Amino acid sequence: MTDTTDLADLKKRAEAAGLTRLTEEHLKQLQRATQGMQRHKENLRVELEVSDEPAHVFSLVEKG
Amino acid sequence: MTDFAFMTIAEVSALIRDRKISPVEYTEALIARADKFDPKLNAYLRMTPDIAMAEARAAEEEIGKGNWRGLMHGVPYGLKDIIDRDGLPTTGHSKILVDNMATGDAPVAAKLRAAGGVLMGKMSTHEFAIGGPSFDLPWPPARNPWNRNHHPGGSSSGSGSALGAGFMPAALGSDTGGSVRNPASSCGIVGLKPTYGRTSRRGVLPLSFSLDHVGPMTRTVEDNAILLNVIAGFDPEDPGSAAVDAPDFTADLDKGVEGLKIGVIRHFYTRDQKADPEMAKSIEDALTVLQGLGAEVRELEIDPLEVYAGCNRTVLLGEAYAIHEKWLQERPEDYGDKCRERFLTGTFITAADYVNATRRRRILTNRFHAAIADLDVAVTVSSMEPACEIDDDAEIERSYGRQARAPFNLTGSPAISVPTGFASNGLPLAMQIVGKPFEEAMVYRVARAYEKATDWTNRQPDLEAGCRPPQKSD
């Protein structure tokens, strides 16, 4: 995982994503937010088989 | 007769239909109540007294001629300010949309208009339905009617606050990670997140396309079913709308719970997270009530809360970032701090992250549906603790993820928050009842049985006592 603690590096990544107007305070928010999201991703520990498909169109209606 | 401010839709509708009260006088009285107390609660983002009085007068005239349209005719309601009403701004409680004018009614708003409802105004919300109570926006945040120094929950904060305060008997909210059920839990009212696709999302500012739900918010279970009857229905122009018939959601309300099977997802609030002891006890007491009424209660074990939370956040923030990417690039400074930080969380979610979250979503959903296949409903906590103080940012952030609502946005299941009592600090407690897809009627049936056996929905806040002098955050 890319280290998100370096604000200068984060700034470069954000700018590459089109976020060129973030202030230093915004970058700190992005830093906290990204760290928080990483924790959420680590919680996604449901193992996937190759054939497990996404919910392409999330619907609870019977099809066919 | 119930204090006018806390009359239910069912009560006031009959009185209006039978011409025992005037919708004009009732609306005037509610407007006066809001004029007096809302400056301390900020439940309204925008009151619409001219529209309200015009619609109340039209209702009175029409009913006087014998043309009663149904249970919402002449009844006041509010719309969360992410829901379009033609000719009014839909701001999302944000500087970014401060001048955004709706050019048509959202279908849910059109249905309320067609039902003869009386629009009281647009209700405060967390910025773009995600931000949190914020003091850096063009309008102040809504406050809790039980104690204005506390958070009313969100993001449908104004709707919850207004109902709890007796400003109206009905309101609409939206729920993407819990935003109807959270204010319902925090304000001591009833809020339903319907099955995904049960209500149209068109004309509603999107937060996350596959997780957004529009839901009814009321003070009683019966009222909630009445309101869902009005707003439910297939919308062919909403890609997520379910082409299923909407039944009369009030039909099974009083069938009781004798013989019903209830699964309690206790691990959500005793192991995965630890609920406040008063909150946990109120749920156990509620289960005891339901058992006393003849229901069978059994333990239900499903995936851990943090797995659902991780999946919900990845899907939600991936979709939300896509929606807000352009504004975040062009004008990030125009968001409030809380909202901006939430949306920035989606910046580095990769395509693989998102796709894999949707793959896991299907697995989690299938597992949940299998787990409740031989049950009628599941019960669990909504919030882990009562609402915190509104200007305690650290506690707001800490408690933001302490909830068990998001799993049912992922699974699309109907889920309702109903009051279960009050904490020692006077703030409401609540539980969540979850059903199978499109079985809102069963959810209502269980909720109603519990409600009738207790009196929590008859309690009312003392707004004179709760409206303390302005605090530093004002």
Block means of pLDDT (10 residues each) for chain B, 474 residues, are: 88 97 98 97 98 98 98 98 98 98 98 98 98 95 97 98 98 98 98 98 98 98 98 96 96 98 98 98 98 98 96 96 98 97 96 94 96 98 97 92 97 98 97 98 98 93 67 39
CA–CA separation, B461 and B40 (whole Å): 14
At B164 the pLDDT is: 98
A49–chain B Cβ distance below 8 A for any pair: no
In the set B13, B94, B155, B413, the catalytic residue is B155
Q: Is the CB of residue B420 less than 8 Å from the CB of residue B282?
A: yes
* Set of chain B residues whose Cβ sits within 8 Å of the Cβ of A13: 348
Please answer yes or no on whether B345 and A33 come within 8 Å at the CB atom.
yes
Looking at residue B262, the DSSP 8-state letter turns out to be: E
pLDDT over threshold 80, residue A45:
no
What lies within 8 Å, CB to CB, of B298 at 6+ separation is B261, B262, B263, B264, B375
Looking at residue B199, the DSSP 8-state letter turns out to be: B
Calculate the alpha carbon distances from B225 to B172, B179, B421 in Å.
13, 18, 22
Q: Which of A7, A30, A39 is nearest to B337 (CA)?
A: A30
At A57 the pLDDT is: 57
Backbone angles phi, psi at B420, to 5 degrees: -125, 10
Query: H or E stretch including B421?
Result: strand B415-422
CA–CA separation, B154 and A12 (whole Å): 34
CB-nearest to B242 from A19, A40, A60 is: A60
pLDDT-derived band at A10 (thresholds 50, 70, 90) equals very high
The reply to whether B80 belongs to the active site is yes
Nearest CA in chain A to B322: A17
Helix axes B337-344, A24-42, angle to 10 degrees: 50
At A42 the pLDDT is: 83
The reply to whether B95 belongs to the active site is no
What value of ipTM does the predicted structure carry?
A: 0.89
Residue A1, judged by CB atoms within 10 A of its CB (0-12, 13-18, 19+), counts as exposed
Q: How far is CA B444 from the centre of its chain?
A: 15
At B473 the pLDDT is: 40
Q: Is the CB of residue B76 less than 8 Å from the CB of residue B24?
A: no
Calculate the alpha carbon distances from B388 to B233, B240, B331, B405 in Å.
36, 34, 31, 17
The reply to whether B179 belongs to the active site is yes
At A61 the pLDDT is: 66
Calculate the alpha carbon distances from B113 to B55, B110, B354 in Å.
9, 5, 38
Q: Is the CB of residue B159 less than 8 Å from the CB of residue B175?
A: no
Nearest CA in chain B to A60: B437
